Amino acid sequence: MNDKKPTTPRRDFLKTCATKIPQWLLVFSAFGPEQARAVDGESDYNPVEHNYAMGVDIHKCIGCGRCVDACKKENKVPEEPVYFRTWVERYVVPPEGEAHVDSPNGGRDGFPELPADREIFRTFFVPKLCNQCANPPCVQVCPVGATFVSRDGVVLVDDTYCVGCRYCIQACPYGARYLHPTKKVADKCTFCYHRIRRGLLPACVEACPTQARIFGEVGQQSSPLRRFLRFNDINVLKPALNTEPKVYYAGASREVR
Amino acid sequence: MKVKKIPQQLIPLAFLLALAVAALVIMRLVLLPETFGEYGHYRALAVDDVAALDIAYAGHQACAECHDDVYELKQQSNHRGVACEACHGPAAAHIEAPDEYAPEVPRNREHCTLCHGYNPTRPTGFPQIIPELHNPRQPCMTCHQPHHPELPHAPEECAACHRQIVNEKAVSHHASLSCTTCHDLPAEHLVDPVMVRALKPSTREKCGQCHASNADSAPEIPRIELATHGEGYLCWECHYPHQPEANR
């Protein structure tokens, strides 16, 4: 009869499970890959004490393209004129109608003369880059957790984890991302994260001859960024999208988006 | 009390479910990188991977350590805000091996005109020349020392720096007026144009000398009633005198 069959094997099985599974878990976690964590020369760096941001003063930009050039050289951005981590746009607002915007080779080689028949009401340069949003749509859509906001407030890409699906490129409202043609992963401005961790300025800020770009930290007292935020009327790009950008623009009129 | 028997067909299904859960747990343990999820939905070590990349631009402080004489000279000049590597290119390799790698030294006019060539989009007051008209084909360094770019001699005419305005004015109704008819020109402006500016007219009467209804000037000049026309504004706050709209 069935009910006379001994029940011990099942009980034993459950007992074994209860003891062995936690053991396996311990074993697996103990043999995980171990890697060195510190970047040379800064072991006492505490990311949560920092929150990086940038100011862009449109009144000061002369459109020389040194930032674009420096960015490409510093970050080994592909040379083809369609890949940029930062670029400069020229806005030409006619007396009536839509603004004309161009950015030949990202402004890296300067800007060609405007056609003689183009009427100028107002004209200015707008440097663009990743806005390092505090609420980034690109991070929300990443299906694998390959792009993220670091604890010091920079949106980074994990090269080894990105599957190249391009969702983030579609999601970015600022067009700040591209698919790296050889690495086949998403690539973008990192505020030169490898430089700022060493106490250097981002390459574009270093190269800007007119201080149109101001780098610093939100909340840091007595810094150039603080002064910039204090004495200018500050805009961010596409504020209605609630992305909370951390690239602050002074002098960005309503044509700029 | 009768315990309801588990239906026979559920037993293999329950076994399969248990197997799937176990597989999921094991796969998570094996496939997820160790630091994934430490600070958020990402691999925490990726931050260090990015931070460990090599630099190409050394930063101006590094240049100043050896080239302090040039750096000091530059800091006294209008190029004080221009970092060394803005013109000389990335120099981290030069810091590593000063003898093996030399940074670039741009000597051609095209490099200087990247900033100083006339472009209407540039902010007003930024020093610009029209390369075709300003000592064509001569390297800029013949007259200007880039580390101390003060003017080699006081410009003899306004057009040396303000060529575009002079060109505009030349085809306007104001062609016959000299710049100083309207602008007060402090002598220091010729030496230190950035700090000492030429002055725009500060009174309406300046323009009124020709354009007031009772002015003693040629009859074809447009007249206004100075007392009532655009009261409270200076004339140039509405009109652009280098290109008076009456010309169009």
- Substitution target in A28, A74, A102 with the highest count of B β-carbons within 10 Å is A74
**pLDDT mean over A137-145:** 96
The answer to whether B83 contacts A207, with C-beta atoms less than 8 Å apart, is yes
- List the single residue in B46, B48, B57 with the smallest CB-CB distance to A70: B57
Partner B, chain A 68-127, Cβ-Cβ below 8 Å? 70, 73-74, 90-92, 110-111, 114, 120, 123-125
Contacts of A42 (CB under 8 A, 6+ apart): A197, A198, A199
What confidence score (pLDDT) does residue A33 get?
44
Lowest mean pLDDT among A48-52, B56-60, B154-158: B154-158
DSSP-derived secondary structure for chain A: -GGGS--HHHHHHHHHHHHHHHHHHHHHHHTS-----PPTT-SS--GGG--EEEEEETTT-----HHHHHHHHHHT--SSTT--SEEEEEEEE-SSSPPEEE-GGGGTT--PPPPTT---SEEEEEEEE----SS-HHHHH-SSS-EEE-TTS-EEE-TTT-----HHHHH-TT---EE-TTT-SEE---SSHHHHTTTPPPHHHHH-TT--EEEEETT-SSSHHHHHHHHS-EE-SSGGG----SEEEES--TT--
- Digit-coded pLDDT (tens) for B121-175: 999 878 888 899 888 989 999 999 999 988 778 888 888 888 888 888 998 889 9
What is the number of CB-based contacts under 8 A between chain A and chain B?
Answer: 137
- pLDDT at position A53, please? 97
Average confidence (pLDDT) over A170-176: 97
Per-chain mean pLDDT for chain A: 89
Q: In chain B, which residues have their Cβ closer than 8 Å to the Cβ of A202? A: none
Q: Is 60 exceeded by the pLDDT of residue A215?
A: yes
Higher pLDDT, A44 or A230: A230
Q: How far is CA B10 from CA A5, B6, B28, in A?
A: 20, 7, 27
pLDDT band at A34 (very low <50, low <70, confident <90, very high): very low
Contact, A89 vs A125, CB < 8 A?
yes
Can you give the pTM of this predicted structure? Answer: 0.83
> Residue A64: which of B57, B114, B120 has the nearest Cβ?
B114
Distance CA B241, CA B172 (A): 9
Q: Residues A47, A151: contact at Cβ < 8 Å?
A: yes
- What pLDDT is recorded for position A8? 64
| Res B56 pLDDT > 60 | yes
The mean pLDDT value for B56-85 works out to 95
Q: Is there a contact between B114 and A38 if contact means CB atoms under 8 Å apart?
A: no
- pLDDT band for B232, please (50, 70, 90 cuts): confident
Residue B58: closest C-alpha in chain A:
A200
Nearest CA distance, B123 vs chain A (angstrom):
6
Within 8 A of A64 by CB-CB distance, chain B residues are 114-115
In the structure, what pLDDT confidence band is assigned to residue A26 with cuts at 50, 70 and 90?
low
- What does B23-76 look like in DSSP terms, one character per residue? HHHHHHHHHS-TTBTSSSSSBTHHHHHHHTSPPS---HHHHHHH-HHHHHHHHT
- Is the pLDDT at A1 greater than 70? The verdict is no
Say if CB B123 and CB A209 are below 8 A apart.
no
Residues A239-252 have a mean pLDDT of 96
The CATH classification number of A47-136+171-250 equals 3.30.70.20
Arithmetic mean of pLDDT, A61-73 = 97
In whole angstroms, what is the distance from residue B211 CA to residue B225 CA? Answer: 9
Contact yes or no for B85 and A120 at CB 8 A: no
- Asked whether the predicted pLDDT for residue B94 surpasses 90, the reply is yes
Looking at beta carbons, which residues of chain A come within 8 Å of B40?
148-149
Query: According to the model, what pLDDT value does residue A22 have?
Result: 62
pLDDT confidence band for A67 (50 / 70 / 90) = very high
Instruction: Name the 3-class secondary structure at B211.
Output: helix
Of A110, A148, A203, which has the smallest distance from its Cβ to B114's Cβ?
A110
How much is the pLDDT for B244?
A: 75
Instruction: Name the helix (H) or strand (E) containing B214.
Output: none
DSSP 8-state secondary structure symbol assigned to residue B199:
B
- Nearest 5°: the CA angle B140, B145, B146 is 80
ipTM at complex level: 0.82
Closest chain B residue to A93 measured between Cα atoms?
B121
Cα first-last separation, chain B? 105
Contact A118, A92 (CB under 8 A): yes
Looking at residue B154, its pLDDT comes to 81
- The confidence score (pLDDT) of residue B175 equals 92
Residues of chain B above pLDDT 70, percent: 98
pLDDT at B115: 95
User: Any chain B CB within 8 A of the CB of A251?
Assistant: no
Q: Please tell me the least confidently modeled range out of A25-39, B56-70, B154-168.
A: A25-39
pLDDT, chain B, mean? 90
> Could you say which residues from 111 to 140 on chain B have a Cβ atom under 8 Å away from some Cβ of chain A?
113-115, 117, 119-123, 126
Q: Which residues contact A122 (CB under 8 A, 6 or more apart)?
A: A91, A93, A253
Which chain B positions have a beta carbon within 8 Å of A149's beta carbon?
40
- Could you state, in order of their start, the residue ranges of all structural domains in chain A? 47-136+171-250
The reported pLDDT for the residue numbered A167 is 97
Q: Is the Cβ–Cβ distance between B174 and B211 less than 8 Å? A: no
Q: Pick the residue of B45, B114, B118, B248 with the most A CBs within 10 A to test the interface with A by mutation.
A: B114
Q: If contacts are CB pairs under 8 Å, which of residues 50-109 in chain B contact chain A?
A: 50-57, 59-60, 79, 81-83, 85-86, 89-90
**What would the mean pLDDT of A104-122 be, rounded to a whole number?**
92
Mean pLDDT of B11-31: 94
Q: Which residue of A has its CA nearest to B81?
A: A209
User: In percent, how much of chain B has pLDDT > 90?
Assistant: 64
Name which of A29, A27, A185, A163 is nearest B32 in CA terms.
A29
**Quick check: A78 pLDDT over 90?**
yes
